[in-house]
Structure 1
Amino acid sequence: MIVTGDYTAEIEELQKHLASEFEMKDLGSLKYFLWVEVTRSKHGLFLSQRKYVMDLLADTRMLDCKPADTPIVENYKLGVYVDQVPTNKERYEMLVGRLIYLSLTRPDIAYTVSFASQFMHSPSEDHMAAVMHILSYLNSALGKGLLFKKNDHLDLEGYTDADYAGNITNRHSTSGYFTFFGGNLVTWRSKKQNIVSRSSAESKYIEIAQGVCEILWLRWLLVEIGFRSDAATKLYCDNKSAFEVANNPVQHDRTKHVKVDQHFIKEKPEHKLISIPFVPSSEQLADMLTHVVSKRRLEDSLDKLGIIDIYAPT
């Protein structure tokens, strides 16, 4: 159990009460919890799963493998085919499940792991090779994790993105978003959309709606713990068509098929809860949650997301 708060006296009182009801022990400052390692320094709070990664690589005999630069190879063509060679389904499910838990502190593998999980029902040797490539990437930086710094603001903002018909099997799009509080990454998601979009603008607009839901939940949560903001939360989008519809939602034929999301999004800027500014694709952090990016783009994004490796040699 993790007990946290601003008032030492109340924390001590709670611990005494719990100790009177249960057999428990105060382990001091948080250092390790459910395979998540916590490190404190003058730079901030660092969360990683280094030991978890090392155990995973040891169990799969991948500690001595050649490290990969990115979580997935560029120009991959993974899908479900009639003539595919099946692989060990139980082992595939086990590996993907462990990688899903690892993505709690590793947003850099979120897209690849989400993609791999789509083939749990019928994995092939090609799918297993993609999972082993993720392990090779993890071997390149065992200790990567999230750094939470004390910044001079408590702004809430998000980045939302989607590819268009990226799934070669059923042409579904992939959505992704990052949200930041006080300049620190707090939530993220990469997931295949449930429907086939008829345009790139529609796929982006669907993701904006999902990003709005996440922002609204975070605003409610922050109010619950004492942080109320009257300023509209910025949710950045890099698609001009979706941006124009979101900020000037005039009803016309080309947006009829997204009018439910349109009405949902439309009222949020009107109520000053959320604003949807445009951001160039080169500055869209959520790109790495929707498709493969180059090594250079990946490293640049990780730096902006606060994902570092404190164990890396300097």
Structure 2
Amino acid sequence: MLVYVDDIIVTGNDSRLIQQTLDALASRFSIKDPEDLHYFLGIEARRTSSGLHLNQQKYILDLLARTNMLSAKPVNTPMAVSPKLSLHSGTKLTDPSEYRATLGSLQYLAFTRPDLSYAVSKLFQFMHAPTTDHWLAVKRLLRYLAGTPTHGIFLKKGNNSTLHAYSDADWGGDSDNYGSTNGYIIYLGSHPISWSSKKLKGVAMSSTEAEYRSVANTASEVKWLCSLLSELGIRVNWPLVIYCDNVGATYLCANPVFHSRMKHIAIDYHFIRELVQSGSLRVVHVSTHDQLADVLTKPLSKAAFNNFSSKIGVTKAPPS
């Protein structure tokens, strides 16, 4: 059972047990007649013969109507590659309330839209002092949504329980303080189940350091997911695999020798070596062209973005 205040989803493989659960609830509480899952907390569920599609079409259309962007001309990417946004680009907004409210609404879309994660994360870095350029970037993101309102995550039948992840970092990509952006996306079989785009604390002294810290953050999330899946009775296939496109970081994860140039890295990042040495985790090198987490670390061109967004699992809703 998934419970949020007075909304409950009851699911499982045993129809008899599900019915027993519903009967037990009905004996103690006043509940509505059970029905198939269609809508839950702003997320629409469309069932087909091959699986379940999750999207937030109604939420997106309501947001576009509220911001007067329903008839806006669509664009192909959520954020322009250039010029890079910075704290000082543009003129400071006299009333930042609309910027903050709209961006807060956009954050909720990350539940079904990993393709929005980087743009939303980047724009959140200007919440304290948004400018006209930042507001234009928010409007571009809304224009992207105007062209992709039915996009979401498709959960296919017959999925396997192999847990693997893609980890990436954009070293020194922040034009204000040269901070790095960490991005990861974690799959259970072919389904994306967790993703993040976040600015790393501090300045990494090399691309290897940035990527190594990113892999460590990904490993931490993977470890937590393993614990959660275990509680849910889902057996995960071992070893777990994290794909990284930096050779130095991949080597560092498996090297038990504490490298002299990495002494300044916080000790807590080195827990990944224990996971690798115990055989529960493998960090594997992958080509940059196949690094799916790339879409979570930087703005991409139209061709690259369309290629990666489809590969990470963002698809159009199937016909009703």
TM-score (norm: length of structure 1): 0.95
Q: Distance in 2 between matches of 1:35 and 1:272?
A: 41
Aligned residues: 313
Q: What residue in structure 1 maps to residue 106 of structure 2?
A: 99
% of aligned pairs identical? 39
Q: What residue in structure 2 maps to residue 89 of structure 1?
A: 96
Q: Provide Cα deviations, 1:80-123, integer angstroms capped at 9, x if missing partner.
A: 12983325211111100100001111111110001111111111
2:232 corresponds to which of 221, 225, 241: 225
Contact 1:206-1:261 at 8 Å conserved across structures: no
**Are 2:53 and 1:49 aligned?**
no
Matches within 5 A, 1:63-212: 63-81=70-88, 84-151=91-158, 153-212=160-219
Q: Distance in 2 between matches of 1:113 and 1:7?
A: 39
Distance 1:152 1:133, change over 3 A: closer
The one-letter amino acid paired with 2:282 is: S
Contact 1:151-1:182 at 8 Å conserved across structures: no
SS of the residue aligned with 1:80? coil
Q: What residue in structure 1 maps to residue 223 of structure 2?
A: 216
Q: Provide Cα deviations, 1:135-173, integer angstroms capped at 9, x if missing partner.
A: 011111110010111245321100000111111122211
Contact 1:65-1:136 at 8 Å conserved across structures: yes
Normalized per residue, which structure has more strand? 2
Structure 2 regions of 5+ residues with no counterpart? 1-7
Contact 2:57-2:149 at 8 Å conserved across structures: yes
**Are 2:42 and 1:16 aligned?**
no
2:295 corresponds to which of 258, 281, 288: 288
Cα distance, 1:229 vs. partner? 3.5
Contact 2:161-2:237 at 8 Å conserved across structures: no
Q: Distance in 2 between matches of 1:100 and 1:129?
A: 17
Cα distance, 1:205 vs. partner? 0.8
Cα distance, 1:282 vs. partner? 0.4
The one-letter amino acid paired with 1:132 is: K
**Are 2:310 and 1:299 aligned?**
no
Runs of 4+ in 1 over 4 A off after TM superposition: none
Distance 1:83 1:124, change over 3 A: closer
Distance 1:187 1:232, change over 3 A: same
CA RMSD of aligned residues (A): 1.8
SS of the residue aligned with 1:56? helix
The one-letter amino acid paired with 2:18 is: I
Cα distance, 1:301 vs. partner? 1.3
Contact 2:163-2:237 at 8 Å conserved across structures: no
SS of the residue aligned with 1:218? helix
Q: Distance in 1 between matches of 2:277 and 2:87?
A: 44
SS of the residue aligned with 1:231? strand
The one-letter amino acid paired with 2:233 is: G
Structure 1 regions of 5+ residues with no counterpart? none
Task: Single out whichever of 283-292 and 23-32 deviates more from structure 2.
Answer: 23-32
1:37 corresponds to which of 40, 44, 49: 44
Contact 2:216-2:270 at 8 Å conserved across structures: no
Q: Distance in 1 between matches of 2:15 and 2:79?
A: 46
Q: Distance in 1 between matches of 2:55 and 2:26?
A: 30
Distance 1:64 1:37, change over 3 A: same
Q: What residue in structure 1 maps to residue 5 of structure 2?
A: none
Contact 1:246-1:262 at 8 Å conserved across structures: no
TM-score (norm: length of structure 2): 0.93
Q: What residue in structure 2 maps to residue 264 of structure 1?
A: 271
